[in-house]
Amino acid sequence: MRGARVLVITIILVALRVACGLPCTCFCFYDTQPLYGMNFDYPESEIRFSIETGAEGLVFFGSVFIDGHYGRTVGMNAQGLFASDQMVSPLRNPADEEAPGEIYVWRAFYEALTDCATVNEVRERLADQRLVSYPELALHDFFADPSGDAFVIEAGNTGNVATPIDGQFLVMTNFHNGDFRGDPPAAVRGDGADRYRIACAALASALRRPASFDVAAAFELLHRASTSSGTYKTRYSLVLDPRALVVYIALERDMDHLWRVSLRDQTIETYQGFSRYARLPLDATGVVGSLLTAYAEDDPPAAPTSQPVSAWLRVLFGTLLLAMFLFAILGQRR
């Protein structure tokens, strides 16, 4: 029964991948300030943002509702360590369960964010553990920290495959980074190769213009790498500042309305594009995406900054009447 269930799920997932391609894009960039970015692409399902507590302190998580619970897929902790857990193709080193010395790719992602402070700690933690994939779902992990250290780690056929940052940025989509280590973006093939090239080109261009890559530029990159059709659409985009411990959020490719999360304050607030201000506490219970989206959909029009033309006309007409009345009185006195 187990084998039959795995086979059915695998066939469904393969069909989805053939029809739609695999989702999600993330990057880290180190110039005048470190920034991380991530597009979460997924079918229609509730999403959630939360701040939870791990061994190393507070952790921001982005999650999606699947199989009756919220699955965490991206996050940043209070030390500025960033991690993203994304789908990858093809499937390598599947296992029905973890054997001694093995760890599922998702668990490596989650435990790193809750227990580690730096990329080097993650690297050392996984040095003696063999990554294994779920039989029905292949994943790979991206890690970055404020120091400029970053790497992608994947389950390989004969062992873990790590791809460290080489320069000032690193990008991960849905092909095995380890298959193209050292190759230029033009040589990359596989799921997400187009989005990978978009991100690499934008980041390489930013390096030629020092201090040009900021939060707005990061969202522009994510918008260009987002997906608006098919089953896997971009449900949210994140730009994360590991020094300020702030996360900026755009929902459903709406880059005009941005939310701001503060790990230090444990809050989420309207940041850009809203005519009314809202500030909500953010804890382990979290805030769902549908609630945040409603703030943009129901946003009342901004109050006018000046009186309408009709109001000015009324004022002018009233002034003229008053002037005529005064002139009439003065004329009678004369």
* Residue 13: predicted pLDDT: 40
Q: Which residues pair with 314 in a beta bridge?
A: none
Strand arrangement, sheet containing 233-241: 169-172, 25-30, 34-42, 233-241, 246-251, 254-262, 267-272, 279-281
Cα gap 151→168, rounded to integer Å: 12
How many CB atoms neighbour CB 317 within 10 A? 10
The count of structural domains within the chain is 1
Query: Does some domain include residue 319?
Result: no
How confident is the model at residue 82, as a pLDDT?
A: 98
What is the structure's pLDDT at 298? 62
Q: Does residue 60 belong to any structural domain of this protein?
A: yes
CATH number at residue 274: 3.60.60.10
Q: Name the amino acid, one letter, at 281.
A: P
Q: Residue ranges of the chain with pLDDT lower than 50? A: 1-20, 300-330, 333-334
SS3 247: strand
Alpha carbons 167 and 148: distance in angstroms, whole number: 9
For residues 82 and 76, is the Cβ–Cβ distance under 8 A?
yes
What local confidence, expressed as pLDDT, does residue 238 receive? 98
**How much is the pLDDT for 322?**
45
Domain assignment present for residue 80? The answer is yes
The pLDDT, as a whole number, for residue 5 is: 40
- Per-residue confidence (pLDDT) for residue 230, from 0 to 100: 72
User: What pLDDT is attached to residue 227?
Assistant: 86
Q: Report which residue type is found at 106.
A: W
The two structure tokens encoding residue 182: 């050292």
Residue 314 is assigned to a structural domain of this protein: no
Give 262's strand partners.
246, 267
Domain that holds residue 137: 2-297
